[in-house]
Structure 1
Amino acid sequence: MGDNCIPIQERKQHPTLWFDDGNIILTTSFSLFRVHRGLLSMNSPVFADMLSMPQPDHMEDSYEGNPLVELRDNDTDFTHLLRFFYDHRYYQGGTETTFEKISGLLRMSTKYQMDDLRNEIISHLALAYPSTVEKYLEAVDPKTQLPLFPPFPGQHFAVVALARETDASVLLPAALWRSMGMPTRDILNGVVDLKGTRYTLSPTDIEMCMVGKVDVYKHLVRAETSLPNKLKKSECIRQEQQGDPSFWPCIEIVRPTVVHHFSSAGAPIRDNYDVLIDMRAFEAWRPHVCDSCRTLADLKILQWRQRWWDALPILFDLPQ
């Protein structure tokens, strides 16, 4: 019986994955599945190897005359896998699904070496957790509608845990970055969704996110306060129109705005921020300067964003 605590006789036949002509019984700790050996072998090399071994005529592990294979897989995850075996339309990359389904199938496709399905799921998750800064900025744009799954509290923590579990390391930079942007209390204590499920980071990831949050905020303050120095008086349209070489209209707007933002009179400093998209001092003065100064500032910020993004593997101790 292995580690399963419920006797086989008390486990339930699955209502839809019990086929009268099935020739093998698979069981998790809760359910019995009567399915087809050929279908299992066709979909997974792990099952193909497992089922290619000759079976004795009189098997001790049998159920209703069919060979019985006990599995330690999560009942829900394995149900998703079998449903996909019987109908590949059950999951289609690029179309909205549920986190339960996509996470279960990623775990199962990893374990059972279904590389095509695994790669398709990782690519699907990468819509929200991409590997380039350009795709990231597109993904976090409120106007973008991602065909992934309905967002839920603790989602970023859940994706980090899933990527760690399944070695989907390509998702980790963006998932950890988005986790780091969560409020400190949530990073430390986790987040509970409406169903009562708590999503948390591992102690190591909590430490990296907390250290990274402080370090990144320092970079944010330095960038916001140094950005006015990157503007060029000689290229300012308003300065040229003014005709007074001693007066620079745009900088007279920029510097007081930055000082006010970081002063006690400015808006409260928030604990949840994303410096890639949330440079509030800059956004406060950006619409009020000339096109030339605005373009130069935008270019500099694009360069900073790319540099910060390229540094994520170092920030989170990940492979390049």
Structure 2
Amino acid sequence: MGDATRTKRRRTDDADTPATPLVRSTEYWFDDGNIILQVESTQFRVAKSVLSRHSSVFRDMLMMPLPADEPTVENCPVVVLSGDTAQDWTLFLEAMYPKSLMEEVPRFELIAAILRLSKKYECPAFRQDCVRRLKTKFPTTLEEYDELEPWTCIKGNKNIYLPILRFAREIGLHSIIPLIYCHMLTLSRGRYMPKILNVDDASLGASDRFACLLGIANLQILQSTTTMAWLEVDLPSSALPAQNCLQPARCVAMVKETILEAASTHPPSLCVISEWNETWGVGMCRPCEKKAKDVFEAGREECWDKLPSMFGLPEWKELMSNDFE
């Protein structure tokens, strides 16, 4: 808060206990404000009308007459908000008092703060926009996933999947969790594997660690019978070589080369919802490449449908019905 003006909180303990210093927000202390919100040790002076416009909780509260002995600061009533953080309120007020239009791609910290407080204080417009952004980033259908451009609804990178996972559990947004797990395991190039395997890493809860470990095993098995079933060229039921293959020996050799390359990756590649890798078809004849790709695409749909169960979660429909909104 820099050189923010300081005042004193009224003592709530005995006279020998020093008062906790209060800090006025330099960003959200308006001279024409008519109510003071006290969050932790920070005070915000804002307008009742702005709070009432966005929050039904504040609208109802501010309609009630103030007690005669209500504490005031500069003739403004002081409302102490327990259980909130000053950081969240600073970001929340950033949305209520924008210096410009809200960022087209807001950072996750802003979305988390707004959603956390808009849920508590009943600010439906803010809440719905934040939920929409999270559900757009982590959809529940393969069609929506395939149409999604990376990081167009939330500003971020592969390092924020874990914070988003913890936040989804905190607010009860269950339907986005399977895809977060999948991103952590399949699309982050092993970035999260040390956290998943290290039981002493407290950044990942026990239930999430178990779900990820279960997912690793289940997805490896699932992909072998779905997306990557075309690799099983030695089985009688193999899709390859195709019936109209132009070069059976060469196509089988190319498939086995792909198997060896996949086996050498660490951690092992998981190809359950990722798109077809064009390099897999190099060296195959056109009929075999098409057959392999058809098997892969059909497998992606099956994998998507089964994705929640791979982590021990209910099916998509139940997860969506259990979302807080």
The answer to whether the superposition gives a TM-score over 0.5 is yes
Q: Deviations over 1:71-126 (max 9, x none)?
A: 1311111111112112385535xx22222212211212222222222221222234
C-alpha root-mean-square deviation of aligned residues, in Å?
Answer: 3.3
How many angstroms apart in 2 are the aligned matches of 1:199 and 1:84? 32
Q: Which deviates further from its counterpart, 120-129 or 6-15? A: 6-15
Aligned to 2:254: 257
Q: Which deviates further from its counterpart, 30-39 or 174-183? A: 174-183
Aligned to 1:242: none
Aligned to 1:170: 175
Q: Deviations over 1:209-256 (max 9, x none)?
A: 1111111112234443545522474344x2xxxxxxxxxx1x423433
Q: Matches of residues 109-124 of structure 1 in structure 2 within 5 Å?
A: 109-124=118-133
Matched, 1:99 2:108: yes
Aligned to 2:68: 57
Aligned to 2:22: 11
How many angstroms apart in 1 are the aligned matches of 2:37 and 2:256? 67
Q: Is the 8 A contact 2:56 2:122 kept in 1?
A: yes
Normalised to the residue count of structure 2, the TM-score between the two structures is 0.77
SS in structure 1 at match of 2:164: helix
Q: Deviations over 1:36-94 (max 9, x none)?
A: 112111101111122222211221x33233211111311111111112112385535xx
CA shift in 2, pair 1:189/1:74, >3 Å: farther
Aligned to 2:164: 159
- 1:66 partner letter: C
Q: Is the 8 A contact 1:178 1:274 kept in 2?
A: no
Q: Is the 8 A contact 1:160 1:201 kept in 2?
A: no
SS in structure 1 at match of 2:243: helix
Shift of 1:20: 1.4
Question: What 5-or-longer segments of structure 1 have no aligned partner?
Answer: 191-197, 239-248
How many angstroms apart in 2 are the aligned matches of 1:97 and 1:202? 27
Aligned to 2:117: 108
Q: Which deviates further from its counterpart, 221-230 or 174-183? A: 221-230
Matched, 1:128 2:137: yes
Normalised to the residue count of structure 1, the TM-score between the two structures is 0.78
Count of equivalent residues = 292
Q: Is the 8 A contact 1:176 1:209 kept in 2?
A: yes
Question: What 5-or-longer segments of structure 2 have no aligned partner?
Answer: 1-8, 320-325
How many angstroms apart in 1 are the aligned matches of 2:295 and 2:263? 24
Q: Is the 8 A contact 2:33 2:47 kept in 1?
A: yes
Matched, 1:211 2:207: no
Aligned to 2:6: none
- 1:200 partner letter: S
Q: Matches of residues 141-290 of structure 1 in structure 2 within 5 Å?
A: 144=150, 146=152, 148-151=154-157, 153=159, 155-181=160-186, 183=190, 184-189=193-198, 200-223=203-226, 224-227=228-231, 228=233, 229-231=238-240, 233-236=242-245, 238=246, 249=247, 251-263=248-260, 268-271=264-267, 273-276=269-272, 284-290=279-285
How many angstroms apart in 1 are the aligned matches of 2:59 and 2:197? 44
SS in structure 2 at match of 1:207: helix
CA shift in 2, pair 1:234/1:221, >3 Å: closer
Identity of aligned residues (%): 26
